[in-house]
Structure 1
Amino acid sequence: MEAYELQQFEGRLSTHSASKEEEEDVQRDCDENEDPKRGGWTTFPFVTATVFALSVAVGGWVSNLIVFLITKFNVKTITATQINNIILGTNNLFPIAGAFIADSFFTSFSVVSAFSFISLLGMIMLTLIATIPTLRPSPCGIGSLITCEAPSKFQYSVLYAALSLASLGLGGTLFTIATMGADQFKNPNDQGVFFNWYFLALYVANVFSFTAIIYIQDNVGWGLGFGICCIANGVGLGVFLLGKRFYRQVKPKGSPFLSIARVLVAAIWKRKMSLEASREKDYYYGVGVLADSPPTKSFRFLNRAALQTEEDEQFEGSYGNSWRLCTVKEVEDLKTLIKIMPLWSTGIFLSTPTGIFSSLTILQALTMDRHLGPHFKIPAASFLVFNLLATAISIFIIDRFILVKYKNLTGQTLTPIQRIGIGHVINIISLIVAALIERRRLGVVRAHSLMNQPGSAVPMSALWLVAPLSVIGIAEAFHFPGQVSLCYEEFPKSLRSTSTAMISLLIGIGFYLSTAVTNLVDRTTNWLPDDINQGRLDNVFWMLVVIGVVNFGYFITCAKFFMYQNQNVGK
């Protein structure tokens, strides 16, 4: 969940970095609307209230999913972490689809309305699963999972249907509504203020979910906990629909991904054409556009997509509908993407250890002493809130103090690549801290002879877990904003609205890979038994350290050969 919050924060950074040309585009889009009275601050309470309510609903089921699967569905601990990582990955991949649909086919209002309803259906199903005994296996304690009744195929089907609907609803709402909220304002400064309140609502809602709702689920009842999420989702949808007559509707402009696909198809279609004798005037620059410069020599295969032939003359004036002829600019835009992809991909192997670490931390917390005083016990999943808080606080400190101090001392700002590199290093440190703490926990297990007592509480405070969670939060505060800044500054202008979605894609792939890595470790070693007191979680963390070090070497190599297109970066 914390990765998802960073994804939303990155959208804010890109908005504040908008160029003058893009600001004029926003102004032009707003002026084209038929009713000038729509939009503006009148829509603010509707959008913000919707964001808060939907965030409460999402946080309430995502944050405590592992515990629900283990305690109510009798799913083995490692399997529960794998399911959780798949869901988190899906949550970060679906926003890509939601943004694509909103940009290409329907308005943001239509997408948010439809997917909010889909999310509501998922929440209703989860509430029914938690309240109707026949929709889940017979209850049993965590310590006796080996002899517990496994879920039936029907029960699994209902569960997966509910999680799929909830994830699909998330993908089409919280990411798209941020763009829709910004579209309500003509002035970019007003957009910035809106995003400040947007993220405040997002963070406050998730802190509430990670604490109050999780506590209700663990100590009062899962039916009530999911029921609150269901009500919040319904309220959010209702408030959003109430503001329909006030919203400014921005028509879909078409997805930039279509342009990428056209270049690839056109280049393959003309793969047999020779480029040796081609001249500057042989390339297509667009209707009414004077020839500027021919395509660059890098990735020359793609240049064929802009090479004009006699057959292409019929597409003159309507090249946008042609899959045989593209402009030189479209070709160069795709080349820019290809050049940045290796550096972008290093974030996947940074997100993968983070996904594994977050899931295993909940399993650790379940075995440790989570009491604060004699009467209050911190829910296991609530420990992830320390990561969220560390990230938010670190972003504020970095933005207000560290970057300012660095610029005063050096006369330059930290480049996006430098920020990403710092994030890599701190991430490795966090995994080392996690491995050392797990070694200490296993030492306490052996000292008290708890290795053969499944479900026994380890007499060690779970507050030890706050340290690695906080350190990894600091790493994310450096890495993810640096990653989105790099994408926004280096992506072609036509793809800048897609740049933040690339971070969502990165996180989603990372969570899917974390599931694959966990499954591989589970199959090939004895480090991850169902009772982690009998395993070697510390070896898993050391393995992640090795992955992090190798990935950092890969990052250094990619950074060495990467050339900034924006010459003002770091000045």
Structure 2
Amino acid sequence: MSSVVPGNGETEAQISPDSARKQGGWTTFPFIAGTLMGSSIALSGWANNLIVYMIEKFHVRSIDATQTFNIAAASTSLLPVIAAILADSILGCYTVIWMSSLVAILGIILLSLTAMLEPLRPAPCQNGSSMCPIPSKVQFSVLYSGIALASIGVAGTRFTIAAMGANQFEESKDQRIFFNWFAVTLYTSMVLGATVIVYIEENVSWTLGYCLCFAVNVIGLAILLLGRRYYRHVKPQGSPFTRLAHVITATILKRKIPLSSRAEDYYYQKDGAAEKGASMPTKSFRFLNHAALETEGDTKADGSIAKPWRLCSVQQVEDLKCLLRIFPLLSSSIVLCTTLPVVSTLTILQALTVDRHLGPNLKVPAGSMIVFILTSTAINLTFIDRLLFPMWQKITHKSPMPLQRIGLGHLFNMTGMSVAALVESRRLKLAQIHHLSDHPGSTVPMLVLWLVPQLVLVGLGEAFHYPGQVTLYYQEFPKPLRSTATAMISVVVAISYYLSTAVIDLVRRVTPWLPDNINKGKLGNVYLMFAMMQMFNFFYFLFISKCYKYQRLEEGNKSNNESCNTEK
């Protein structure tokens, strides 16, 4: 006898009742959190200081270094969807995570070798000379191979472990709490990497900093393996994307057959057997209903499907409709997520030109500026979860919906970008007053703390929209695509990084706003341009969210296991 674990991130599989009682739940959280911390500290340690490392040790031009970072970050965010597909259809979350961790460790080893061995990096610049040795092809190959492997490894771990963690819980309330604590753990870990390890890299040794990244990644992998006996392992049962392809093909093949108004003319399937007397397919995307229209020869004598590429169940059709409904919301998040790559990378260039001393003995590393975003996000996540949302629920008698959280994220991100433009105008004015445009190595008489407000606002926006998006996609996606759902936010982030890279590259080509010496440019105009993009995108989001109807409501308004074909 067996039972199905509901709400899991992979395709549904059979688990014995005894196994279900002993495995999963909050017992697994320390192992999942430990694995996430190891991976995230390592990522934050090498990635947040990558721009500085490339400029100082490989003599890469500043804007080119930021572009390289954005591409690496985009790849780190795009590849999780591939890992999620493998987890959903073939390998399972646990296997994908430990394999990806090994790849990340290999990448960090290569980065460590570039810092450790002099032949793997160019010679230092000569004092007083603006001409620096150009890295050889071999040196660039080792550097970029390390970045690529480390990015691929992180991509396979970061969001797959979110799905694996959610798989350990059956109740939607527990899953929501898990996602909040997952985000807190993620951002806290990133803060540790961006402060401790980045400080060591800049002030003690790049080699020691990268070796620490290697060590914490290995520890995270060990914690994952130690918790294996406690996890709820769900065996994947084939690719859910094949089911969606069946719907598209069957729709095309039956496009000329008139749709019926009788429910019994459509094919319903539950637990492998045909089920009659169910409700009609939904009216949205009505043309897809052709795929579930049953005609002669489509089924066998026992009621099962004879031609899967010609006939699909109503549930398969509704699963595809779920994806089509949520795609407009996904598109509205692309410009929203450009805020983080734009502000975090360009702020580093600003930080390199201002006074970073906090007292006589402490100098803030430029690569650590992102720590203000991460700290703001981690603190505000706790404040939102423990104070703001309980007050909201007490006043309105309803929990805040994911789209409301995302909308607030839009507003704070837009404000952060506007503040960044104002601060940059002050920094540039000071540079002009002191005639520093022709002295790229000179320091503008402006404290680095002036750059903090824009980062804090972006972090506050992250605290609202990041958990809101993860919750929305996990909640609204069809069950067989739950791991893919948690990776969708990473796909949006990846497209955002590519978009920001493309826009900045276009700005460099057609305007004088972004020269290598930003004291000669107009970086504030770049911030204003992105703020305007955010504003127009916010209006688009409001229109899309007003048209969207939730398929599964939180907090027991609807069952977590409700099928996607129920319309509000």
TM normalised by structure 1 equals: 0.87
TM-aligned CA deviation for residue 317 of structure 1: 5.5
Distance in 2 (CA, whole Å) between partners of 1:525 and 1:334 is 44
Cα gap change, 1:33/1:135 in structure 2, threshold over 3 Å: closer, same or farther? farther
Partner of 1:177: 161
Of stretches 505-514 and 172-181 in structure 1, the one that deviates more from structure 2 is: 172-181
Q: After alignment, is 413-422 or 59-68 more displaced?
A: 413-422
SS in 1 for 2:338: helix
Q: Note if 1:332 corresponds to 2:282.
A: no
SS in 1 for 2:371: helix
User: Which one-letter code corresponds to 2:322 in the other structure?
Assistant: T
Q: Could you say which residue in structure 2 is the equivalent of 1:453?
A: 439
Identity across the alignment (%): 49
Q: Give the residue type in structure 1 aligned to 2:93.
A: S
Asked if 1 retains the 8 angstrom alpha-carbon contact of 2:108 and 2:150, the reply is yes
Alpha-carbon distance in 1 for matches of 2:42, 2:222: 14
- Amino acid across the alignment from 1:393: I
Which residue of 485, 498, 502 maps to 1:512? Answer: 498
- 8 Å contact kept, 2:28–2:227: yes
User: Deviations for 1:202-235, whole angstroms, at most 9, x for unmatched residues?
Assistant: 4443222111110111112211211111122233
Alpha-carbon spacing, 1:488–1:174, altered in 2? closer, same or farther (3 Å): closer
Alignment partner, residue 8 of structure 1: none
> Structure 1 residues 492 and 162 mapped into 2: Cα distance closer, same or farther (>3 Å)?
same
Contact map agreement 1:26 1:186 (CA 8 A) in 2: no
Picking from 108, 113, 117, the partner of 1:123 is: 108
Residues 514 and 24 of structure 1, relative CA distance in 2, 3 Å threshold: closer
Aligned residue in 2 for 1:558: 544
Residue 268 of structure 2 aligns with an amino acid whose one-letter code is Y
Match of 2:250 in 1: 266
Q: Structure 1 stretch 497-506 or stretch 117-126: which is displaced more?
A: 497-506
Q: Structure 1: which 5+ runs fail to align?
A: 1-18
Find the counterpart in structure 2 of residue 280 from structure 1. 263
Q: Which runs of 5+ in 2 are unaligned?
A: 558-568
Q: 1:483 corresponds to which residue?
A: 469
Task: Indicate how the Cα distance of structure 1 residues 387 and 24 shifts in structure 2: closer, same or farther if over 3 A, else same.
Answer: closer
Q: Is the 8 A contact 2:160 2:486 kept in 1?
A: no
Instruction: Identify the residue that residue 336 of structure 2 maps to in structure 1.
Output: 350
Report the CA distance shift for 1:530/1:316 in structure 2 as closer, same or farther (over 3 A): farther
Deviation track 1:341-366 (CA, whole Å, cap 9, x = no partner) reads 21221111111233212110111111
Does residue 1:217 correspond to 2:195, yes or no?
A: no
Deviations 1:536-561 (A, max 9, x none): 10000110111011111211222233
Q: 1:167-566 counterparts in 2 under 5 A?
A: 167-181=151-165, 201-244=185-228, 249-271=233-255, 273-276=256-259, 279-286=262-269, 287-314=273-300, 319=305, 322-566=308-552
- Take 1:20 and 1:111, find their aligned partners in 2: how far apart are those partners? 20
Deviation, 1:50, is 3.2
Larger mean CA deviation between 91-100 and 488-497 belongs to: 488-497
Match for residue 53 of structure 1 among 38, 41, 56: 38
How many residue pairs were aligned?
551
Per-residue deviation, 1:67: 1.0
Cα pair 1:27 1:186 within 8 Å, conserved: no
Give 2:64's aligned residue: 79
Letter in 1 for 2:70: N
- Out of 34-43 and 456-465, give the one that drifted further: 34-43
CA distance 1:379–1:497, shift in 2 (3 Å): same
TM-score (norm 2): 0.87
- Residues 55, 487 of structure 1: CA spacing in aligned structure 2 closer, same or farther, 3 A cutoff? closer
Residue range with higher mean Cα deviation, 523-532 or 349-358? 349-358
Kindly report which structure 2 residues correspond to 1:80-119, keeping only aligned pairs within 5 A, or say none: 80-119=65-104
Change (3 A) 1:384 1:321: farther
CA distance in 2, matches of 1:425, 1:45: 34
SS at match of 1:137: coil
Give the SS at the match of 1:348: helix
Q: Within 1, Cα distance between the matches of 2:114 and 2:540?
A: 45
**42-51 or 421-430, which deviates more:** 42-51
**Comparing 161-170 with 242-251, which one deviates more in the overlay?**
242-251
The CA distance in 1 between the partners of 2:7 and 2:214, in whole Å, is 38
Residues 24 and 490 (structure 1), Cα distance of their counterparts in 2 relative to 1, 3 Å cut? closer
Select between 243-252 and 93-102 the one with higher mean Cα deviation. 243-252
Q: Distance in 1 between matches of 2:25 and 2:78?
A: 30
Report the Cα distance in structure 1 between the residues aligned to 2:473 and 2:191, rounded to whole angstroms.
29
Cα 1:446–1:541 change in 2 (3 A) is same
Larger helix fraction of residues: 1
SS where residue 445 of structure 2 aligns?
Answer: strand
Distance in 2 of aligned mates of 1:355 and 1:227:
26
Equivalent pair of 2:5/2:14 in contact (CA under 8 Å): no
Corresponding residue for 2:565?
Answer: none
Q: 1:559 & 1:403 partners in 2: Cα distance?
A: 20
Q: Separation in 2 of the partners of 1:206 and 1:285?
A: 47
Residues in 2 aligned to 1:29 and 1:220: alpha-carbon distance in whole angstroms:
53
